[in-house]
Amino acid sequence: MNKLSQLIEKREAVTAKIKLEENKLRASERKRETRRKVLAGAAVLEWAKRDSEFSARLMIELKTFLVRDDDRALFGLAALPQKGDARR
């Protein structure tokens, strides 16, 4: 194996290691962001339990924010009409 081949092999190993570390960092950031959202959501839901005016406003916001039927069902909201579905 000549010197150039060795250097190319080293570069590839370093590049792979960098990609691995970047992926770990991104995964860690996603995990932190998810935890922040869960905690903020728990605080908002707790607030809504104690404040009916806030609860009503939250439901108004959720009606427009939530578009997936499964998500809407979690809050007791009806499914959105499907495009081309005049029955809903």
- Summarised one tens digit per residue, pLDDT across range 1-40 is 799 999 999 999 999 999 999 999 999 999 999 999 999 9
Q: Which DSSP state fits 68?
A: S
| Residue 83 pLDDT | 80
Query: What are 44-55's pLDDT values in tens digits?
Result: 999 999 999 999
Query: pTM of the prediction?
Result: 0.67
Task: Check if the beta carbon of residue 75 is closer than 8 Å to that of residue 65.
Answer: no
Neighbours of 69 (CB within 10 A): 12
How far is it, in rounded angstroms, from Cα 67 to Cα 61? 12
How far is it, in rounded angstroms, from Cα 25 to Cα 8? 26
